[in-house]
Amino acid sequence: MANSHGLKSSVVKKQAKARKLAKWKKKADHSVYIWSENPQARKNMSYKARTHYFENKQKFPKKKLKTKSIENLIEQGLIDERGFFLRWKKKNFITKSMVDSKGLDFYGMPR
């Protein structure tokens, strides 16, 4: 029923192709700002809010340790004597996992 509106099929196909390209371009324009947001939150957020979110995320400094020496990190108060970070994630710096060398997690419970 492509011709029920009186247009040639070639014109209808060109219109459909143009709509498809426009939809893809719109998705590509917004894909820059999606990072960790879900699609519903992105639709509810204005363009201005998305750009501010993106700019702030890029400007925010990365958390980097000044040294990788375990003794220095304990002295600075960043990790405890078992090797767990005190302020950030509950990860062990020595074993590079969520448990220490004895198999206990941050709270001292077996995992």
pLDDT in tens, 31-87: 555 555 666 666 667 778 878 888 888 888 777 777 888 888 888 888 888 888 888
Rounded Cα gap, residues 96 and 79, in angstroms: 13
State the pTM of this model.
Answer: 0.41
- Banded model confidence at residue 90, pLDDT cuts 50, 70, 90: confident
Domain total of the chain: 2
Give the pLDDT confidence of 45-55 residue by residue, as tens digits: 777 887 888 88
Whether residue 93 is found in the same domain as residue 109: yes
- What residues are paired with 84 via a beta bridge? 92
**Domain of residue 67, residue span:** 62-111
Give domain status of residue 1, yes or no.
no
Task: Tell me if 106 sits within 8 A of 84, measured CB to CB.
Answer: yes
The CA–CA distances, whole Å, from 104 to 37, 54, 94, 96 equal 34, 38, 13, 13
Whether residue 35 is found in the same domain as residue 78: no
Whether residue 76 is found in the same domain as residue 107: yes
